[in-house]
Amino acid sequence: KNHNVPDWETSVSGPFDRWPGLQGFDHFYGFIGGEANQWAPGVYRDHQRVEMEIPKGREGRYTLNDSLADETINYIYQQKSVTPDRPFFVYYAPGATHAPHHVPKEWLSKFKGQFDQGWDQYREETWQRQLKLGVIPSDTKLTPRPKEIPAYDSLTPDQKRVAARLMEAFAAYTAQTDYEVGRVFEAIEQIGQMNNTLIFWIIGDNGASMEGTPFGAFNELAALGGIPEDPAYVLQHLDEIGGPKAYNHFPVGWAWAMNTPFQWGKQVASHFGGTRNPMVIAWPDRIKQRGIRTQFHHVIDIVPTILEAAKIPAPTEVGGVKQKPIEGVSMMYSFDQANAEGTRTVQYFELLGNRGIYKGGWFAAVRHGRLPWVTGIGSSVSFDQDKWELYDLTRDFSQSDDLAAKHPRKLEELQQAFWVEAEKYQVLPLDDRLAERFNPVLRPSVIEGRTVFTYYSGARIADSSAAPTQNRSHTITAYLNIPKGGADGVLVAAGGVVGGFSIYVKDGRPIYEYRMTPVPTKVTSAEPLAPGPNVVRMEFRYDGGGLGKGGTVSLFVNDRKVAAGRLDATIWVGKYSADETFDIGEDSGSPVSGDYASPNRFTGTIKKVVIDSAPATLTATDRQNIQDMQRAANLARE
């Protein structure tokens, strides 16, 4: 997983300065972005988009988890075969266990029925296990469930069935990940370097995700888009959870339970449920005093630790460019002295307005506005209404006892420390927007200022660099040549099983399909295309009045209207998916439509596809909508 490249730099046109190949890595294999479909991932080898190769006989059982481990092991073996005395550095970051929680059924079956007790009881059981193992202090309190999270017993029997299944899928996904990590460790053992290798195993980059809604989601991105799912549909397709037709995510209650004993979860950077993660450091030849370390550290301390361990000074200049000082401190002092005094004394946290500050054993926190599972534009709470909390971490590991009223001066001291750190590290101004920050229109773009786009057969483009078709009227026109025997396949597609659109030909008939829920909308021509030149055009007339609204679809063949339909709502975010692409002549990755399997290449000839994202037939409402988005983009840049 490499979620460091800006969306607008993910196309074939680059630039590639912020890709791994120009950031110090000799080789890269993985995905660019926040998450990936485990069954049909959008993966790159160095700068080239490739398809994940599935070994013969492992169809339906091989996922990205397997592939990333295979690539890592292969690299280690290759490198040691050629240069056995040369050290290697590997950044192995599986997409797991980020959503979607895709996992083969052989793993799923191992966890059937193991979560029927629900999240309230599971959290109690976890807390007791943590105390018994000694991974938390013996006096750690279990924080109560927030009122915003439903009690498990308040769910209906059907909701419990879905919730339990979603958690089974996540547990299976986690177990599969542990197995793959183990395979990589076995490879290091195989080359005789386990004792001589410094390994950091960072288990997550935030708390368990609370983005799966109170009752879970069959399609995570639909849920994030505020699109309600039909519970009856999810029940009917319960066995598909974890499989290639789902894009599932567990309910909020399970996230809360997995963040035991802390409060809250992912996005809530003010509390440890959203930020605190286990980390294992292994280096048998160097670390003799094994056991738990309790010093307070942050992920930015990893690089200074590696540099000190490798005896490499931090660079002051790279390629003639003067470097900023590395923000972090080495943790090597703790390798030999388990109880050594910590060297990180201050650390700020901030995400979407949620913020916290650690200083000298104390922690001040403020949860801001929107709940992690609520989507929409802006925040309903003013920063002036935020209420700060204060915790003494030397006595309160789980942040269970708010001391703000008892120690107002200490709270004020930490609040001031937050503003100092926030200014120092460019956190200001605080920004709690959500939908606006997802919208590519508000960011730099390789397509800025263009409204007409011409694409040619074989084009495969990152979603964020393709013609904008969300929240506006638009036309898509495909210029084709149909052979005498007819032709089928995809003309143009964007997105995948998680959401998107496809214009394809089946049984000779052109079809426009739009997916934003498990049940897509189709507009199908009653007549097949005749042999020879043909022009297929789709016109979408957007209702306007905001983001994610509906509209009418008209399908034309050679300027003759052959079908029409309506979309009641559309995907409001500026991308159809996290890692799928916009394709001409095929549908790579996962298929938008259930009518075909990817890639479903078109068997005729595509001369070109033209998309007009601001057609002359726009209504006044259309024009106003586009002008509003352009004004918002200009304000964001200012």
443 confidence band (pLDDT: 50, 70, 90): confident
By the 8 A CB rule, do 551 and 542 touch?
A: yes
In a domain, 436, yes or no: no
In a domain, 110, yes or no: yes
The gap between the terminal CA atoms of the chain, to the nearest Å, is: 31
What is the mean pLDDT of the segment spanning 500-511?
97
pTM of the model as a whole? 0.92
**Positions of E strands within 144-185:** none
pLDDT of residue 380 exceeding 70 = no
* Angle at alpha carbon of residue 132, lines to 127 and 133, rounded to 5°: 100
pLDDT of residue 377 exceeding 60 = no
By the 8 A CB rule, do 498 and 37 touch?
A: yes
In a domain, 83, yes or no: yes
d(CA 29, CA 47) in angstroms, rounded, equals: 9
Q: Which of 609, 598, 591, 488 is nearest to 538 (CA)?
A: 609
Q: Which two tokens stand for residue 360?
A: 């000298």
Q: 239 in helix, strand or coil? A: helix
d(CA 238, CA 220) in angstroms, rounded, equals: 15
Q: What is the DSSP letter of 634?
A: H
d(CA 34, CA 95) in angstroms, rounded, equals: 8
Q: Are residues 367 and 462 in the same domain?
A: no
Q: Are residues 366 and 275 in the same domain?
A: yes
d(CA 335, CA 171) in angstroms, rounded, equals: 32
For residue 354, how many other CB atoms are within 10 A of its CB? 25
Q: Are residues 402 and 464 in the same domain?
A: no
By the 8 A CB rule, do 212 and 220 touch?
A: yes
**Judging by beta carbons within 10 Å of its beta carbon (0-12, 13-18, 19+), is residue 425 exposed, middle or buried?**
exposed
What is the mean pLDDT of the segment spanning 383-391?
95
Q: Are residues 41 and 129 in the same domain?
A: yes
pLDDT of residue 187 exceeding 70 = yes
What is the mean pLDDT of the segment spanning 42-67?
94
In a domain, 345, yes or no: yes
User: Tokens 């993910």 sit at which residue?
Assistant: 10
For residue range 590-625, what is the model confidence (pLDDT) as tens digits?
Answer: 999 999 999 999 999 999 999 999 887 655 555 555
Q: pLDDT value at position 637?
A: 45
Q: Which of 132, 170, 124 is nearest to 151 (CA)?
A: 124
In a domain, 1, yes or no: no
Q: Are residues 89 and 212 in the same domain?
A: yes
CATH number at residue 581: 2.60.120.200
Domain termination residue (choose one: 361, 392, 424): 424
Angle between helix 64-82 and 157-190 (nearest 10)? 10
SS (H, E, C) 485-506: CCCCEEEEEEEECCEEEEEEEE
d(CA 424, CA 403) in angstroms, rounded, equals: 27
What is the mean pLDDT of the segment spanning 427-434?
90
Q: pLDDT value at position 281?
A: 97
Residue type, 72: T
d(CA 328, CA 331) in angstroms, rounded, equals: 9
User: Tokens 């924080």 sit at which residue?
Assistant: 143
pLDDT of residue 498 exceeding 70 = yes
Strand partners, 580: none
d(CA 175, CA 126) in angstroms, rounded, equals: 17
Q: Which of 198, 185, 455 is nearest to 311 (CA)?
A: 198
For residue range 449-476, what is the model confidence (pLDDT) as tens digits?
Answer: 899 999 999 999 988 889 999 999 999 9
How would you classify the pairing of strands 474-482 and 532-542?
antiparallel
Least confidently predicted of 125-129, 230-234, 399-403: 230-234
* Angle at alpha carbon of residue 533, lines to 532 and 535, rounded to 5°: 140
In a domain, 109, yes or no: yes
By the 8 A CB rule, do 439 and 472 touch?
A: no
Q: Which of 472, 474, 464, 469 is nearest to 444 (CA)?
A: 464
Q: pLDDT value at position 447?
A: 85
For residue 223, how many other CB atoms are within 10 A of its CB? 23
Q: State the total domains in the chain.
A: 2
Least confidently predicted of 279-283, 293-297, 419-423, 436-440: 436-440
Which of left, alpha, beta for 194 (phi over 0: left; psi -120 to 50: alpha)? alpha
- Its sign, for the CA torsion 322, 34, 276, 176, is negative
Q: Which two tokens stand for residue 127?
A: 């807390």
Q: pLDDT value at position 621?
A: 55
Give the contacts of 412 (CB within 8 A, at least 6 positions apart): none
Q: Are residues 182 and 257 in the same domain?
A: yes
pLDDT of residue 227 exceeding 80 = no
Q: Are residues 125 and 197 in the same domain?
A: yes
Q: Which two tokens stand for residue 166?
A: 């979603």
Q: What is the DSSP letter of 23?
A: T
For residue range 326-344, what is the model confidence (pLDDT) as tens digits?
Answer: 999 999 999 999 999 999 9
d(CA 558, CA 377) in angstroms, rounded, equals: 41
Q: Are residues 119 and 174 in the same domain?
A: yes
DSSP notation for 84-138: TTS--------STTSSS----HHHHGGGTTTTTT-HHHHHHHHHHHHHHHTSS-T
Strand ordering across the sheet containing 389-392: 346-351, 354-359, 362-366, 389-392
Q: pLDDT value at position 296?
A: 97
Strand partners, 612: 452, 475
Residue type, 8: W
Domain termination residue (choose one: 424, 451, 466): 424
CATH number at residue 122: 3.40.720.10
Percent of the chain having pLDDT more than 90? 81
For residue 368, how many other CB atoms are within 10 A of its CB? 22
Domain termination residue (choose one: 424, 454, 477): 424
> Mean pLDDT in the chain?
92
Q: Are residues 448 and 388 in the same domain?
A: no
Q: pLDDT value at position 311?
A: 96
In a domain, 369, yes or no: yes
In a domain, 433, yes or no: no
Q: Are residues 493 and 375 in the same domain?
A: no
Q: Are residues 386 and 278 in the same domain?
A: yes
pLDDT of residue 178 exceeding 60 = yes
By the 8 A CB rule, do 516 and 569 touch?
A: yes
Helix-then-strand count for the chain, H and E: 12, 23
Percent of the chain having pLDDT more than 70? 95
What is the mean pLDDT of the segment spanning 471-500?
96
By the 8 A CB rule, do 158 and 240 touch?
A: no
For residue range 261-295, what is the model confidence (pLDDT) as tens digits?
Answer: 999 999 999 999 999 999 999 999 999 999 999 99
Q: Which two tokens stand for residue 307?
A: 């540099």
Least confidently predicted of 138-142, 219-223, 382-386: 219-223
For residue range 342-353, what is the model confidence (pLDDT) as tens digits?
Answer: 999 999 999 999
Q: Are residues 29 and 70 in the same domain?
A: yes
Q: 447-450 — which CB contacts under 8 Å span 24+ positions?
A: none
370 confidence band (pLDDT: 50, 70, 90): confident
The boundaries of the domain holding residue 461 are 443-637
**Rounded alpha-carbon distances, angstroms, from residue 312 to 304, 308, 315:** 9, 6, 9
